[in-house]
Structure 1
Amino acid sequence: MAIKFKNLTKSFGEQKVLEGIDLEIADAQTTVIVGSSGSGKSTLLRCINLLEIPEEGELELDGEKIKFGGKISPKELLPFRRRTGMVFQGFHLFPHLTVLQNVIEGPTQVLGVEKKTAINKALELLGKVGMADKQNAYPNRLSGGQSQRVAIARALAMDPSFLLLDEPTSALDPELEAEVLKVVIALAREKKSLVIVTHNMNFARKVADRILFLDKGKIAFDGDAERFFASRNERIMSFISAMDIRFLKF
C-alpha cells in the first residue's frame, strides 16, 4: 500500500505552491515533511486527503485513483478521505461532546460502527494516548497537550491507512509538546503509517524513517534522516541551522 502522486501541481491564485511533484509514500513507516514557511509542506499533506484539490496531476491511494484538472464529485473524494486521518494544529474537538463522545463520533456516524464496539475501541485508544482517565471530561477542561492526544485517538478510531499530522505541537509550550511527541514516537515504533509536517528538527531526527525537504514547491531532498542531517548541501545546512536556533532554550 502506498500514496502515489504524479505531476502534482497546486496554486493559490497566481502563486504556485506545489509544482510537478512526483512522490510515493510507503506504509508502515514515518515520513516527515520539513521546509521553510511557504515551501508547500502543509499544502502537500492536505492534498493527500484532498482538503486541498490540486489543479493538475494524479493521486493513487490503496488502489483508488483520481485525476485532477476536471470536476470532481464528493463521492469521488470520499474513498481517499476515509483512508486517511488528519490531526490538525488546532485540535478541532467538538466542544459539546465529552472526550469519549468525540472519539466515537466518527466511527458511529460515518462508518456505521455499533456503539458498544466503538466505545470499546475508543477506550483502548484513549489508554494508548494516556487519556483514559479523561473520558468523561469536556474539551474546555483539557490542556492543549491533552486535547491533541484526544485528537490523535479520534483520528486513529477511524482506522485510517495513513495518519497525517500537520504541525501537531506548534500551538503547545515545550512541556505539553513533549506529551504529544511521546505518543507520536510510540505510534512510529508500532510501525503505524505516519506522514508528519513539523518544524521540530530534534523530533524529526528521532522519529523519521524518511525525510522530504520541500523548497519553493519542489522536493529538494528525499532520503533517510541520517543523510539529511549530514548533508553538505548549502540550502539544507542553512535550513537546519535556522531551525536549531529557533528551538534553542534561552
Structure 2
Amino acid sequence: MREGPDIAQVGALIGDPARANMLAALSGGRALTATELAAVGGITLQTASTHLAKLQTGGLLTQRKQGRHRYFTLADEATALLIESMMGFAASRGHLRHRPGPKEPALRKARICYDHLAGDYGVRMLDSLVATGAIDAIGEGLSVTPQGESRLQCIGIDVPGLKSSRRPLCRSCLDWSERRAHLAGSLGKALLSTFFDKGWARRTAGSRSVIFSPEGEQKFLSLFPLEA
C-alpha cells in the first residue's frame, strides 16, 4: 500500500468537464447557486447537485445558506490558487477549450482571480512591485520590503495590519492567460479592494472582468510603471 497524498482523488474531482467548468466559474470569488452552476456546467440541476456534493466532500467547495438559498464558493485561497495554476498549465500546453470570444480581451487585460487582480494588469502590478524594490522575489517566495511598506501605505494599504492576519501576506499565483505570476495573498486582495474603493475600477456583472475607468487606468499605470 502506497503512502502519502493521493493526488489521483483530487485529479478525478477536478477532471470531470462539468465540475471543471463550475470550479473555474467559482474562481472569480463570487458565491453561486446550484442553479447558476448547473448552467455553467451545461447539466441539469439534479446532476449539478450530485457534482457539488462530491466537490464539497472532497474539500474543494463550501456552502452557506441565506434564507431559502444555498450558495457555493471555493473552499479557500489554496483551492483558488490550484484552479488558476491548472488553467495556466493547460493554456501553456495548448489545451484550450474554445476559440477566442468577445469577452476574452477584457479577461486577459484584467480580471478577478478569487479575490485578487489577474490578467495583464495583475502580472504588470507584481512585475512593477518587484522591479521598484517594493517586493523581494526569492525563488517562489515573495516578501514586502520596508520601502514597499511605506509606498503601499501612501495608497492606504495597512501592511502591518495585514501581517497580523493568519493569511499569507504575499503569494505568487500562475496566471492562466499571461502564463506568468500575479500577486495573491492578503496584499493582493487589499490592492484590488483599494482599486474598487477609490473608483478606479469596477467589476463587470456576470463576468470575472475588471474594467478600469480612464482616470483609474492612468493612475494604475502611473502607480505600477514598467521600464521600457
Q: TM-score scaled by structure 2?
A: 0.30
Indicate the structure with greater strand content: 1
Indicate the structure with greater helix content: 2
Q: TM-score scaled by structure 1?
A: 0.28
